[in-house]
Amino acid sequence: MKRFVIDPWGFFLLKDYKKLIGQYGIEPLTPRMLSKLPEPNRLMRRGIVFAHTDFEKIIDCILEGRDYYALTGIMPTHETIHFGNKSVIENMVYFQEHGARTFVLVADLEAAATRGISLGESRRRALDFHIPAYLALGLDPKKTIFYFQSENQAVKNLAFCFAKRVTISEFKAIYGSVDAGRIMSALLQAGDILFPQLEKAMPGVIPVGVDQSPHLRLCRDVVRRTKRNFGFVLPAGLYHKFTPSLQGEMKMSKSIPGSFIGIPEEPERVRKKLMDALSGGRKSVEEQRRLGGRPERCMIFELYKHHLIESDEELDEIFQECRKGTRLCGECKAYAADLMERFLKDFGRRMERARKLVPKLTFVR
Ligand code: TRP
C-alpha cells in the first residue's frame, strides 16, 4: 500500500479519500456506526464526515450519557473564514448539543510559529471575527470554554513534558519535514487535545479536516507513552472531507482567489463566483435536455450537499432533475445564489448579536 505523508501545514491534496483509510489509524465511518448516532446531522448522513479514529467510544458516551469532550482549534491565518471551514464548527455544535463539554482554542502560538503572525494580530482577528463566528454558527457561549494557546500555561507545560517522549525521526515519519516551529506546534496541539483531561481523564473527540489527522496520531502516541505519568484516555478523531473549490479542485482555499465563497461575502460577488463555478452542464441547452446534466461532478451540487440544502429529499430531487435534463444550470446556479444569500444575511444578523457577547466571555489562563 502506498503510504502518504499528510502535511497539515502544506497544501494537502488527494483525489481519492479512500486511499487514506487504513493509514494514520484512519478508519471508515460505517453505516452501522452512523445508525447508532442520535439525530445524525447533514454532514454525517451524507458521508462528509467519512472517517474516524476510535470514535466508537464517543458514540457509547453519547448513548450512555457519560462525560466526554469535543475540542477544536482556530488558527486565524486570515481575517475571516470560508464555506470550507464551516463543517467542523457544525459538528462541534452537534457534540455540544449531545452532551459534550466543549472547548475552542485560538492557535495563536501555532500561527506565530508556523506563519509568522504576531500574537496581537491573532488575538485581534479571533476577537473581531473568529470567536463570534463560532457563536453565530451555533456554539453556546455559556457552555463553551475558550482559550488562547499563548495564555494557557497548562497546555504549554504539557507540550514541554511531551517533548521528552518524541524523537525527530518520529516527527519526520509523521509529518514529512520538520522545523522548530512545526515541532513546537505539534507538541502544543497534543497539549490542546489533552488539556480537558487534566481535570478528569475522559474520552474526547476532535473533529477536524483530514489534513489534521497526523496530529491525532502523534497525540495518541504520546498518550500511550505517558500512561504512567498522566493516565489520559486516548482521544478520538472525526475526519471531514474538504468542501471542493468552485473550480473542482480538492478544497476551497483562501490562497486561491475565486476558489472559495467567503463567510461573509458580498451577495454580488457570491452570485458572480457561482456563475463562474464548474458545473456538470453540457455544451448546449439542447444537449443538456437530451443527455441530462452530471450532478456528480458539479460544484454547485457539492455546495447543496455540503452546505445549502438540509432536506435529503430535496437534495435527491435536484439530483434526479439534473440527471434527467429538466433542470438547467442557469436556474440552478441562481437558486444556489439565493440560498447562499439567505444564509449569509442570517449569518450577518447572528454575528451582530455574537459580537456583543464576546466581551463577556472568559478565557482560560
Ligand atoms: N492546527 C490547527 C489548524 O491548523 C489548529 C489547532 C491547534 C487545533 N490546536 C488544535 C485543531 C487542537 C484541533 C485540535 O487549524
Rounded to two decimals, what is the model's pTM?
0.96
Is the shortest distance between the CB of 114 and ligand 1 below 6 Å? no
Q: Which helix (H) or strand (E) holds 184?
A: helix 180-194
Is the shortest distance between the CB of 84 and ligand 1 below 6 Å? no
Q: What is the pLDDT along the chain (365 residues), one digit of tens a residue?
A: 567 788 888 766 677 888 899 888 999 999 999 999 999 999 999 999 999 999 999 999 999 999 999 999 999 999 999 999 999 999 999 999 999 999 999 999 999 999 999 999 999 999 999 999 999 999 999 999 999 999 999 999 999 999 999 999 999 999 988 999 999 999 999 999 999 999 999 999 999 999 999 999 999 999 999 999 999 999 999 999 999 999 998 899 998 989 999 999 999 999 999 999 999 999 999 999 999 999 999 999 999 999 999 999 999 999 999 999 999 999 999 999 999 999 999 999 999 999 999 999 999 99
Question: Are 295 and 280 in contact, with CB atoms under 8 Å apart?
Answer: yes
Task: Compute φ and ψ for 61, nearest 5 degrees.
Answer: -60, -45
**Ligand 1 centroid from CA 33, angstroms:** 26
Give the residue, by CA position, lying nearest to ligand 1 atom 15.
75
Give the residue, by CA position, lying nearest to ligand 1 atom 3.
75
- Which amino acid is present at 60? D
**Ligand 1 centroid from CA 313, angstroms:** 35
User: Is residue 41 exposed (0-12), middle (13-18) or buried (19+ Cβ within 10 Å)?
Assistant: middle
Chain position carrying cell 438547467: 328
